Amino acid sequence: GAGVSQTPSNKVTEKGKYVELRCDPISGHTALYWYRQSLGQGPEFLIYFQGTGAADDSGLPNDRFFAVRPEGSVSTLKIQRTERGDSAVYLCASSLNKLSEQYFGPGTRLTVT
């Protein structure tokens, strides 16, 4: 079956622009996670959805970052007024439920110039 997919695989944008990153979880997985991985670092937790609601958004760095999952499946991470420091690989993961293993997507590499 299909794994977690993320689009685009690469995104280059100018400082100050708005970007949207998309995550398609494994079908039937109720839990969805976003992480950010900067160069030379491990993934850093951003936000966790259980169904349609954000169960934990404590990792979002500031109010420029926002994520939605309106139908409990696909999720979009939105970044407003991008800054060069936002450049990183954004990872999405999903799990069958809160008690199960997280399956990671290949990530979206965001470069802010």
Q: Which residues bind other proteins (CB under 8 A)?
A: 3-4, 31, 33, 35, 40-48, 55-56, 58-59, 91, 93, 95, 97-102, 104-107
Cα–Cα nearest to 71, from 107, 23, 36: 23
Minimal distance in Å, beta carbon 82 to other proteins? 23
Residue 42 CB, shortest distance to other proteins, in Å, is 3
Sequence-distant (6+) residues with CB within 8 A of 83 are 15, 64, 112
Closer to other proteins by Cβ: residue 31 or 88: 31
| CB 52 to other proteins: min, Å | 17
Cβ atoms of 20 and 78 within 8 Å: the answer is yes
What distance in Å separates the CA atoms of residue 82 and residue 64, rounded to the nearest whole number? 8
Closer to other proteins by CB, 14 or 42: give it: 42
